[in-house]
A and B are shown apart, each in its own frame.
Chain A
């Protein structure tokens, strides 16, 4: 069998920022409340009448050179042959160092299972020959998933014929989620800094 390397192209010319991918992901992956494996970040640029909204669907990049697998102390998070970065939920000790290491902030701590989880491109669906839930749920076909090593796949054709961008190329992670026509502002960090003095979540919680 030929080697595979899965990848995803997100075509921002088609994305309508409807959050259908977020909802599909929540349902398929059973993501608990308050955390997300996939979401659509929306920013507003400019002043009326020259204002415009830009969206950016965010999910794990399943990097070619992931920092999380390098920093995981127990090899609980590892990369499959086809590039999907997986988490062994029986091996994860919940040190959360991978969350701190990830430059894309796509990992989350699951308070129900007490381990770290993230998007793994619905590996269980992909292995069964289906598409990831977010791709299946996208109403405008803005998300395209497939084998980037296969020159006949739709992903490869889009990558060959379009200008694409990836998030935080400077981190040397080789992300495999490619964006077409993504806005530079939406791709950079424009969030407000969190003030942890007004929200003291840094104190240890006693959990019995």
Chain B
């Protein structure tokens, strides 16, 4: 702080309003949105070898989206009043968009999964196309929740919803890779060697796609931090908090190096043909995205406002 010899003699301690329930909710909706988008891509391409991936992700998306809002209800101080969100809605509040999106998206997701499992291609494709904007807005609105709390300089950026959507893609693909690899290793033993080889190739392709989303994520993070460092004084403070301050080990160490750069090297480097390396990269990516939620939600609130 540039004020020189300043000493705070007395002030009150403030509470931390949003705790990691919110961060976990962001993490789970991200996983759900990411796997739904992968599932719809697999359905739309309609190739036979994409079927297993399309099915896994179709069921994963609604399951994760049932888990996610439970975090929100648990975070409420009056959990039994959650229905107030629907009855006393306020259209200027991002939480209101969320409460309606979080109702519509799982319904579409469950019907879509039913269509995929009963092998009805046309309704599955239509629902998939309808569901993608829903999946993206379900995760994009969480970015608005942070961005519209404008006093917190770490949150108040127009890039926030995009950062959330891209990191959702990263972690969602990571989870799909992990689950597809588990299926290949333990649950699909009776399949022919050709199918197994095909599945492995598909997993490696998915991992390549994950590496490209990591690149986009890194670009967005770099542009966000650059703007933070050159904007007003509160933004500078937020930038220094995550680059050199209390949150530097988590942001630079876990989110950037462990959660983005190392997985990218594992997936694109000499180990790109190894299933183990790809799975390790996917686990690291998920750890990195979880750390990103922590840095955003908790780090954004550590900068004092008074």
Using a CB–CB cutoff of 8 Å, the interface residues on chain A facing chain B are 34-36, 39-47, 51, 53, 58, 67, 70-76, 91-97, 99-105, 108-109, 114-116, 168, 171, 185, 188-197, 201-204
User: Which chain B residue shows the least CB distance to A39?
Assistant: B12
Chain A residues within 8 Å of B222, by CB: none
* From B78, B92, B246, contact of A71 by CB (8 A): B92
A-B contact pairs, 10 of them (CB 8 A): A34-B13, A40-B10, A71-B148, A73-B89, A73-B96, A75-B89, A93-B82, A97-B18, A104-B305, A185-B6
Across the interface, B94 reaches (CB within 8 A) one of A71, A96, A99, namely: A71
Q: How far is the CB of B79 from chain A (nearest CB, A)?
A: 8
Select B5's contact among A36, A45, A188, A192, beta carbons within 8 Å.
A45
Bound form: Cα–Cα A163–B27 in Å: 49
Contact of A92 among B6, B78, B150 (CB under 8 A): B78
Which of chain A's residues have a CB closer than 8 A to the CB of B10?
Answer: 39-42
A108 to B21, CA, bound (A): 18
Q: Select A203's contact among B19, B88, B93, beta carbons within 8 Å.
A: B19
A75-B90, A185-B3, A190-B1 as given contacts; A105 in contact with B306, CB under 8 Å: yes
User: How many Å from the CB of B115 to the closest CB on chain A?
Assistant: 32
Instruction: With CB as the reference atom, state the residue of chain A lying closest to B155.
Output: A100
The answer to whether B9 and A95 touch across the interface, beta carbons within 8 angstroms, is no
CA distance A46 to B6 in the complex (A): 7
Report if B95 contacts A (CB, 8 A).
yes
Q: Produce 1/0 per residue, B126-149, CB < 8 A to A.
A: 000000000000000000010011
Encode contact with A along B286-306: 1 for CB under 8 Å, 0 otherwise.
000000001000100111111
The answer to whether B88 and A75 touch across the interface, beta carbons within 8 angstroms, is yes
Rank and list the top 4 A-B pairs by shortest CB-CB distance, nearest first. Answer: A94-B77, A103-B151, A73-B95, A99-B17
Q: Interface residues of B, CB < 8 Å — how many?
A: 57
A182 to chain B, nearest CB (A): 13
Min CB distance B16 to A, Å, is 5
Are B152 and A100 closer than 8 Å at their CB atoms? yes
Residues on B with C-beta less than 8 A from A99 are 15, 17
With an 8 A cutoff between CB atoms, is B76 at the interface?
yes
Residue of A nearest to B233 (CB): A188
Q: Contact: B18 with A195, CB < 8 Å?
A: no
Contact B95 A71 (CB under 8 A): yes
Asked if B298 contacts A193 (CB within 8 A), the reply is: no
